[in-house]
Amino acid sequence: MQSSTVLPVLVEVLPRVLRIAVYIAIGVFAANLVVAFGLVERIAGLSRYLTSPANLPDEVGTAIVTTAASTTAGYGMLAEFRESGVLDDRATLVAVTINTFFGFVQHIFTFYWPVLIPILGREVGFMYVGARAAIALAITLTGVAAGAVLLSKQNVTPTAIAETDGAGDTDGEHGVNDDSVRSMAEDAARKTWKTVRRIVPRLAVVYVLVTLLLRTTDLESFTNLASPLTNLVGLPGAAVPVVVAFAFDTTTGAATIAPAIGETFTPKQAVATMLIGGIISFAVSTFKRSIPFQYGIWGPEFGSKVIAVNTSLKVVFIAIAVALLVA
């Protein structure tokens, strides 16, 4: 392959990989520190209402709290818990599912509130964000229910990190002293480096390969699904170009439909149209972002399972939301 093709891809991919690597490192380091200093009980208090019914250990609560601030860091924590044996594969899938709503929360403040709602207007903006919030919450509650039914003590080992690494050790009667704090921080840093060293090269390779493939593949074919879907739910013909735009760029899609709200589209039809655009965008975003990220975090085999569960649940609950809107 010619260097003229590869070099631009490397320039595009490397900053993204470095940014993700930093967040993963933060998440994994925080996970190690939280366990080492015995802070799980304090941090995971509120999330225990979700983790306890789902038969998940308190450690998962720290990942849930972290996900609300950074999805990448939260995933990094879960990867560390899976790697250390706290969670098996089934429990990890349940934990990833429960994380969905908390991953959505951060986007309210970074995208939906400052960008999307001003474009769509208050009524449609709040309807759309509310619909997305309800979908994310439904997926999280599905994860809780799945954990209650599918998980048992055989799927989790809450003491795995402590047993393996001596987490939470104190120095005699005086608790944690400066030397032990430094020792635990250094130990957490070593474990973090080990995890990052394993994940980041795989992440970089997959990102480069996918980006190269995108340069030679026409993803517009995915938008052929737009017309059948909009016809199926009885949306106006003008919904097709909106769905296509929304599938590739949310902001562009919102800007496309906004002038037509109240004339071509009712508020409910506008929200349904954008949600359908979200269904199609999963095919595109999964290929462009989810596969490189999830394969980098978990590896191809388990990463494929995470993608399958995430995408299936999102499509199912978006379809339910659309059906309710156009009923």
pLDDT category at 207 given cuts 50, 70, 90 is: low
pLDDT tens, residue by residue, 160-171 = 554 444 444 444
Q: What is the mean pLDDT of the segment spanning 43-62?
A: 80
What pLDDT score does 268 carry?
A: 93
Question: Using only C-alpha atoms, what is the Rg of the chain?
Answer: 22
| CA 278/CA 236 separation, integer angstroms | 17
Instruction: Identify whether the C-beta of residue 9 lies closer than 8 Å to the C-beta of residue 1.
Output: no
Three-class HEC string of 233-263: CCCCCCHHHHHHHHHHCHHHHHHHHHHHECC
Output DSSP code: residue 151.
Answer: -
First to last CA, the chain: 52
pTM: 0.74
Q: Given a cut of 50, is residue 172 above it in pLDDT?
A: no
pLDDT tens, residue by residue, 109-158 = 778 887 888 889 889 999 999 999 999 999 999 999 999 999 998 999 87
What pLDDT score does 83 carry?
A: 86
pLDDT tens, residue by residue, 261-301 = 988 899 999 999 999 888 877 777 777 778 888 888 898 89
Q: Provide the residue ranges of all domains of the chain, joining segments of one domain with +.
A: 218-326
